[in-house]
Amino acid sequence: MSNYKMLIAGKLVEGNTTLDVINPANEEVFATVPRANQENVMTAIAAAKSAQQLWKNVAESERRVVVNKIADAIAENAEELAKVITLEQGKVLDFARMEVQFAEAFCRSLASHEFPVTVLEETETNRVEEHRNPLGVVAAIIPWNFPLLIAVYKLSPALVTGNAIILKPAPTTPVSSLLLGQIIADIVPKGLVSIIVDNNDLGPVLTSHPDIAKISFTGSTPTGKAIMKNAADTMKRLTLELGGNDAAIVLDDADAKTIAPGIFFSAFINSGQVCIALKRLYVHESVYDELCDEIATLAKGAVVGNGMEEGVQFGPVQNKVQYEKVLSYIAEGKAQGTVIAGGDAPHQPGYVIPLTVIKDLKDGCSLVDEEPFGPVLPIIKYSDLDEVLANANNSKMGLGGSVWSSNLDRALKVAAQLETGTVWINQHCAFGPQIHMAPAKESGIGAEWGKEGVKEFTACKIININKA
């Protein structure tokens, strides 16, 4: 399929203007897609508001049937979706296939949660019930690192809880969302789902419109703060999953050879373009040299390139802006530390950066203190555990963190002191649709995934009954 259209108000439509989509592996235009204007957004909102009034009265079991049909459609179109994801996002085709599989699994899992009436109090004279009701119209704003998966794990809970939804993908990765719209257009009621493409210019229209009841956003912390400001006048409900600069602490009793592969994968999954990837690695001096060598060996042996090519293990950075940002972080890291793998981008078209590992860095370097969101890992040596915990916690971000040790009791004590929403032990970036993720600090508000995440798409109503 190459004639992509937007799903707006139940119809597949062209835009008045178009947007070129770049393949990050070679910087060539691989698709031209329709681009929405403000009128398209208003049409989508009006249709969503009307469709939701009917949808909220549909039985939850029937809504679940529709959402599972969406999962079926994803599975039936898996290979086409995977190829599109690789072309627009850059990730290796096998990993794109995994994204599609995860999208299907998240779609089904998140739709499985039920919210029956809960009795909070029952006496001879009084009965108090908690009801969970739909919010209305949800605006979901999608980033470019997992364009299909993130769209689906917002779509599924929104629909099963009785809401309508408008999806706005990132302008550099809109094709998989448009393809999703085309394969579900005949599955969902007219107007209940709309998918619009912009060039980062229509977000404020969505996030400030009085008929949008909730915004679900995954992306950067500065954009999340802007969305909060836009939503304030109408007190919209918000779920914001924002930036992370996840720290991992390796204790002195860890076995370097055993943990190196897990650390390597956690840092470089999707070429480091994962919010909950391992971003800064603190290693005790007793295992520092050995672990640095192990990780460097893995990074040097990795094949980075065009995700459509056989044998490639890691794809490019998704877009030029991010590519240049990552290179600037690497440049500072090279000036302050020692490069032990990668470090130099090839002089050729595409946003390919070899997996880069830089040791001998300290807190205060931007590569350590900030989130590069790319294929670069800074390694910091430490000797004092209290000091390294203070450094790990000295961040505005609080998405995730991890502790690596051969002693589970010690690891648990350290994990309890990390100021993050999630802490892993002897693993990192382990997740699933059944486990909710609730960020801390400036990494966001609300929860995603699991029953708690689905509940974010509902409003609580208390009915207090006098039975006397």
Residue 241 a catalytic site member = yes
For 104-129, write each residue's pLDDT tens digit.
999 999 999 999 999 999 999 999 99
Same domain? 373 vs 234: no
Q: Are 277 and 267 in contact (CB under 8 A)?
A: yes
- Confirm whether 257 is domain-assigned: yes
342, two tokens: 């990668």
- Confirm whether 1 is domain-assigned: no
CATH number, domain containing residue 424: 3.40.309.10
Distance from C-alpha of 162 to C-alpha of 243, rounded to nearest angstrom: 29
- Confirm whether 139 is domain-assigned: yes
Q: What are phi and psi of 452, to 5 degrees?
A: -65, -40
What are the Cα distances from residue 458, in Å, to 70, 135, 141, 144, 160? 21, 6, 18, 26, 10
- Confirm whether 149 is domain-assigned: yes
Same domain? 201 vs 272: no
For residue 139, the number of C-alpha atoms closer than 13 Å in the C-beta half-sphere is: 29
Residue 387: CB atoms within 10 Å: 12
Catalytic residue among 88, 104, 241, 294: 241
- Confirm whether 227 is domain-assigned: yes
Task: Quote the strand ranges of 360-399, DSSP E.
Answer: 376-382, 397-398
Q: Are 139 and 158 in contact (CB under 8 A)?
A: no
Distance from C-alpha of 114 to C-alpha of 82, rounded to nearest angstrom: 31
Distance from C-alpha of 435 to C-alpha of 106, rounded to nearest angstrom: 11
Spatial CB neighbours of 81, under 8 Å, sequence gap ≥ 6 = 74, 96, 100, 103, 148, 176, 179, 180
Same domain? 62 vs 155: yes
DSSP state of 269: G
381, two tokens: 């040596």
Distance from C-alpha of 177 to C-alpha of 175, rounded to nearest angstrom: 5
Distance from C-alpha of 241 to C-alpha of 195, rounded to nearest angstrom: 20
Residue 285: CB atoms within 10 Å: 11
- Confirm whether 81 is domain-assigned: yes
Q: What is the pLDDT of residue 386?
A: 98
Q: What is the pLDDT of residue 48?
A: 98
Provide the whole-model pTM: 0.97
- Confirm whether 438 is domain-assigned: no
Q: What is the largest CA-CA distance in the chain?
A: 81
Spatial CB neighbours of 446, under 8 Å, sequence gap ≥ 6 = 238, 239, 240, 241, 438, 453, 456
Catalytic residue among 104, 107, 275, 332: 275
Helix axes 78-89, 60-76, angle to 10 degrees: 70
Distance from C-alpha of 189 to C-alpha of 165, rounded to nearest angstrom: 12
Same domain? 359 vs 449: no
- Confirm whether 342 is domain-assigned: yes
3-state percent breakdown (helix, strand, coil) of the chain, nearest 5: 40, 25, 35
Same domain? 128 vs 67: yes
Same domain? 338 vs 412: yes
Same domain? 129 vs 276: no
Same domain? 401 vs 452: no
For residue 350, the number of C-alpha atoms closer than 13 Å in the C-beta half-sphere is: 21
Distance from C-alpha of 123 to C-alpha of 144, rounded to nearest angstrom: 52
Distance from C-alpha of 257 to C-alpha of 293, rounded to nearest angstrom: 10
Q: What is the pLDDT of residue 468?
A: 85
Do the strands 193-195 and 164-168 form a parallel or antiparallel pair, or are they unpaired?
parallel
Length of the chain counted residue by residue: 468
353, two tokens: 């950066």
* Runs of H (alpha helix) within 171-248: 175-184, 203-208, 221-232
Distance from C-alpha of 211 to C-alpha of 10, rounded to nearest angstrom: 18
Same domain? 18 vs 158: yes
Same domain? 253 vs 222: no
For 155-208, write each residue's pLDDT tens digit.
999 999 999 999 999 999 999 999 999 999 999 999 999 999 999 999 999 999
213, two tokens: 């009841």
Same domain? 200 vs 257: no
Q: Pick from 287, 274, 194: which is nearest to 6 by CA?
A: 194
Distance from C-alpha of 223 to C-alpha of 229, rounded to nearest angstrom: 10
Name the 3-class secondary structure at 23.
Answer: strand
CATH number, domain containing residue 204: 3.40.605.10
Its domain, for residue 222, covers 6-242+443-466
Same domain? 236 vs 259: no
Q: What is the pLDDT of residue 1?
A: 52
Distance from C-alpha of 47 to C-alpha of 234, rounded to nearest angstrom: 20
Give how many domains the chain has, as a whole number: 2
Ranges of residues in the chain whose predicted pLDDT is under 50: none
Q: What is the pLDDT of residue 249?
A: 99
